[in-house]
Every structure is written in structure tokens, then in C-alpha cells.
Amino acid sequence: MLCPKCGQKTKVSGVDSGTINKRFRKCLKCGYNFVTLEMVKADINGEFLEYMATVIEFNKKTFNT
């Protein structure tokens, strides 16, 4: 995943798993913090249909890794 601010690589610093996975990310260059919501859709037989990811901007000084 690339940083929405500077376009550089990010790292995952935490995950909240469930039906929709929430990944907490931090840019390796500018330090910007953000969250992605990720979901995989499958059919009734478990066959992969679609992957969706949404970026939620989230830049708090208290967000650490």
C-alpha cells in the first residue's frame, strides 16, 4: 500500500480482524498514519469474487509504532 500523502511505501502496524479487516498503516518516509478497511467477497462456495480496500485518513500524534 502506498501513502496517500507522499506516495511512498507504508508498513502495517496493527490489524483489527473481523468481517472487514482494519489495518493501521504508517508511511516509512513521511510518517503519515492512516487506516485501510479491507474486505474479500466470496460466493456461497467460498470462491473468491472481489477484493475491496478503502483508505480512511487518520493522522494522530498518539498513533504509535
Q: What is the pTM of this model?
A: 0.68
pLDDT for res 65? 46
pLDDT per residue over 49-65, tens digit each? 787 777 877 655 544 54
Determine the distance from the C-alpha atom of residue 6 to the mean position of all C-alpha atoms in its chain, rounded to a whole number. Answer: 16
Task: For the chain, list residues with pLDDT below 50.
Answer: 62-63, 65
Domain ranges of the chain: 10-57
Q: Helices H, strands E: what count in the chain?
A: 0, 4
